[in-house]
Amino acid sequence: MTRILLKNKLDECIAAWRSAGFSVLAPVKRNDLSRFEEVERSADMALDLQITERTIKDHFFPQTEPLLRYTIKKHDLDSQEMLPPDIRRVFFGVRPCDASGLAIDDPLFGWDYKDQYWFKRRDNAVIVTIACTTSDDFCMCTSVKLAPDSTKGSDVMLRPLQNGTGWQVEALSDRGTALLDSVSSILQESSETPAPPASVPVKFDVDKAMEWLADPANFESHFWKEISLRCIGCGSCTFLCPTCHCFDIQDEGDTYTGIRRKNWDSCSFTMFTMHTSGHNPRNTQSTRWRQRIMHKFNYYRGKFGVNSCSGCGRCTRQCPVDMGITETLQAISNLQG
Amino acid sequence: MSEPFEPKIVAFVCTYCTYAGADLAGTSRMKYASNVRIVRLPCTGRISPMFILKALQKGADGVLVSGCHPGDCHFAQGNYHARRRWTVFRALLAFTGIPEQRIRFSWISAAEGAKFAELINSLTEDIRKLGPFEQYHELQTVIETQSTY
Amino acid sequence: MGIQVQFRKEAAELLSSGAVKLVIGYGEGSTPERRRPVFVRTPAETERLVLDGACVANLSTYLISEGLLSDGKNVAVFLKPDGIRSINILAAEAQLNPEQVVIFGFDIENGEARPLAGRKASDFTQVVEAAKAAGLSPELQKEAERLDHISAAERFEYWKEQFSKCIKCYACRQVCPMCYCRRCIVDVNQPQWINTSSHTLGNFEWNIVRAFHLAGRCVACGGCDRSCPVNIPLRLINHRMAKEVLDAFDYYAGESTDQKPVLATFRQDDPETFIL
């Protein structure tokens, strides 16, 4: 016997969480775009989507975020910090790859300096993940050693029941336990079995690829030029990635007063790492694409012991010229033989 | 009772005609609404659409762009080029929902001080009736509070 | 002989004779429905070329890659009529020498690719004339008119909603053959005309500026619209601008390699009904 949540009880659940002070966010398809938005009832949710076009990263590390307000005086500088509001949020219906993305980024934001903008939101969030029972052509979680039912980064795991009426429920953390306890009267005991997770084919041998990437001889390989020839240098792959985390600090205002902001940056852009002198250490698209792959499958692992890719496949799914991590790593693991 | 709404209007004018016209209005002691802030430029051909966007970004409720009558340009062709640009830019602004009444264009020569004064007065009244351009200004306010998109 | 076999053969001939150094065409993508740009340098590699109804991207965008044409050698490229118009504009704006571009022209009819006769941009005058005569997209015109007929405030709300989705990934700019500025206005910070941040105001400004820069230059290839990861109807705003220059100045972008850019020319009797 395990606990289950029936689909027809979901509205009660949402109402209970909302009255306990939580905002509930779930996949929503609105205005020709799917992303996580606040919902009041289950009818607004688009839970049957394979994956939202935008990731939940947006809600922890927004595309643009005010950091502080400043005023320059004659002999003085006034600055006031602008922190995100204290809102407790439940993210319902997250895909395992997106949830893993958060866990992958945690060490980065907490490494030398604890990024309060990230952690204030992380500490106030409960991630309720739904295991995938289907996948599409671009899914590749199994290739990066995750799974369609991986629990990484999740506080609660929901496994769709075989009969389609609801989900088997499992708490994975204290926050998850507390969230489920708050709706314990809505959950039921049942012996229904969950549907098997999706079978996602392994598309490349990530270990082999990492070996090749780790070999300094390959850094200047002609391979990088060939694989990135058609890259047009947009930031679509990086901005839709659940783990990409590069940002840029911008001051916006006039001579005396303004707001300092943290904006997403992308290694695809020609301006990425451009020096004031005009020198750019990554001055071609191939060196920038190499940076993206090396960062994800070599540097990040070196520093934090984990690859910075959760296998959601958005980079390929949304690429205007059909590039992506899958193709590149496939090619690399083939090179390695 | 609340104060009547005083619109902020930015006028981008060419130095040879409209600015001289404004000068004439001044030296002739014609009184016109003080809501207009004049920015003098060498030619209407120098007036980039970016100026209009910047004015809106910084809180203008209306914008006036004005220069020499066709055929009178100091640089012979600047205003002809400007005219094409405005035709296109005006259509674009209108299509994105920035009301045409807020962005106005005129030809005012150095001799037309009275026309300048009248235009500023009527423009100010028109925009006063429309009220502040809240829809656009709201975008600016949201920037300062919104942290999640 | 099917068009794909024919183009492969001709591409191989051009490469082996040294008439071109590179052929830019389409190849198989990561799924059966997808096509991707491929770059072919040897006759043997022409086997990778694919041409069918799924080949919709405007490949002329690769011709403006820095340094590609600067050695004076020729490059062949697969182009639909919209891409041929792009070549005309790029030539008219002095961004490339049309003599260096060998065109494999094709069009898609009822989901099938069929060849267009010609090899140089100037050979396709009739194709472009026919496109002009066929007029702008009626579907987009219908949607543009719907927006023209609601109030300005409602239109503003519509675009605010659309632009609030923008993440400033610049896929629209990068995929566009007309966006060749070495440094885009949005990346210029002295002076900084428009907000680089991707909040709604910054997005609004960015999309207005891009639409303005494309007025009278967009060939409606739809690249921006297809590549937008957040599905903003960019095609619509560019269509509205194309309609404006057509109505006001009888101007159709990309008619020939010596057509003056619409905003770099004028007529003394241009309409000016709106000027006080």
DSSP run (H or E) holding A127: strand A125-130
Close Cβ partners of A127 (under 8 Å, ≥ 6 residues apart): A56, A91, A94, A99, A102, A153, A154, A155, A156
Looking at beta carbons, which residues of chain C come within 8 Å of B87?
244, 248-249, 270-272, 274
Chain B nearest CA to C180, separation (Å): 19
- What average pLDDT does this structure show over B58-70? 94
pLDDT of amino acid A173: 97
The average confidence (pLDDT) of chain B is 92
Peptide bond preceding C191 in cis form (omega within 30 of 0): yes
Q: Which two tokens stand for residue C135?
A: 């007029």
**pLDDT over 80 (residue B39):** yes
Instruction: Judge: B147–A82 Cβ closer than 8 Å, yes or no.
Output: yes
Looking at beta carbons, which residues of chain B come within 8 Å of C147?
95
pLDDT of amino acid B149: 43
- Coil, strand, or helix at residue A125? strand
Do A26 and A45 meet the contact criterion of CB atoms below 8 Å apart?
Answer: yes
Q: Which two tokens stand for residue B113?
A: 């001080």
pLDDT digit string (tens) for C48-93?
A: 999 999 999 999 999 999 889 999 999 999 999 999 999 999 999 9
Going from N- to C-terminal start, the domains of chain A cover: 2-190, 206-336
Instruction: Judge: B87–C274 Cβ closer than 8 Å, yes or no.
Output: yes
Looking at beta carbons, which residues of chain C come within 8 Å of A327?
30
Chain C nearest CA to B93, separation (Å): 8
pLDDT digit string (tens) for C174-232?
A: 999 999 998 899 988 888 888 899 999 999 999 999 999 999 999 999 999 999 999 99
Rounded CA-CA distance C124/A164 in Å is 58
Looking at beta carbons, which residues of chain B come within 8 Å of A65?
147
Do A7 and A165 meet the contact criterion of CB atoms below 8 Å apart?
Answer: yes
Count CA atoms closer than 13 A to B57's CA, side-chain side: 24
**pLDDT over 60 (residue B1):** no
**pLDDT range class, residue B114, cuts 50, 70, 90:** very high
pLDDT digit string (tens) for C130-174?
A: 999 999 999 999 999 999 999 999 999 999 999 999 999 999 999
What structural domains does chain B harbor? 9-145 (3.40.50)
**pLDDT over 60 (residue C267):** yes
Looking at beta carbons, which residues of chain C come within 8 Å of B70?
268, 272
Q: Which two tokens stand for residue A245?
A: 């985390």
C118-133 exposure pattern, b = at least 16 Cβ within 10 A, e = fewer = bbebeebeebbeebee
DSSP-assigned states of every residue in A14-25: HHHHHHTTEEEE
pTM of the shown model: 0.93
Bridging pattern class, strands B36-41 and A247-253: unpaired
Instruction: Judge: C199–B143 Cβ closer than 8 Å, yes or no.
Output: yes
Instruction: Judge: B98–C199 Cβ closer than 8 Å, yes or no.
Output: no
- Coil, strand, or helix at residue C267? coil
pLDDT of amino acid A162: 95
- What average pLDDT does this structure show over B96-125? 95
The average confidence (pLDDT) of chain A is 95
Using the Cβ of B70 and the Cβ atoms of chain C, whether some distance falls under 8 Å is answered with yes
pLDDT of amino acid B144: 75
pLDDT digit string (tens) for A98-157?
A: 999 999 999 999 999 999 999 999 999 999 999 999 999 999 999 999 999 999 999 999
Going from N- to C-terminal start, the domains of chain C cover: 3-134, 138-264
Do C201 and B139 meet the contact criterion of CB atoms below 8 Å apart?
Answer: yes
Q: Note which residues in 194-253 of chain A have CB less than 8 A from chain B.
A: 252
Q: How far is CA B144 from CA A66, A251, C29, C167, in A?
A: 7, 13, 43, 18
The C-alpha torsion from B89 through B94 and B95 to B97, rounded to 10°, is 130
**pLDDT over 80 (residue C1):** no
Taking 50 as the pLDDT cut, the residues of chain A under it are none
